[in-house]
């Protein structure tokens, strides 16, 4: 079960990293629109 915990943590980190990149992208696009 430890591997499952590890995988879940990696899964969470992947999405967290993606979301941060999406935040940055949305912010960039909004600035370009202004």
**Binding site residues, other proteins, CB under 8 A:** 3-4, 6-8, 10-27, 29-30
Measured from the CB of residue 10, what is the shortest distance to other proteins in angstroms? 5
Measured from the CB of residue 24, what is the shortest distance to other proteins in angstroms? 8
Measured from the CB of residue 16, what is the shortest distance to other proteins in angstroms? 6
Q: Which long-range contacts link 8-16 to residues 24+ away (Cβ below 8 Å)?
A: none
């Amino acid at each position: 079960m430890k591997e499952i915990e590890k995988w879940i943590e990696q899964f969470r980190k992947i999405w967290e990293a993606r979301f941060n990149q999406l935040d940055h992208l949305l912010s960039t696009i909004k600035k370009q629109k202004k």
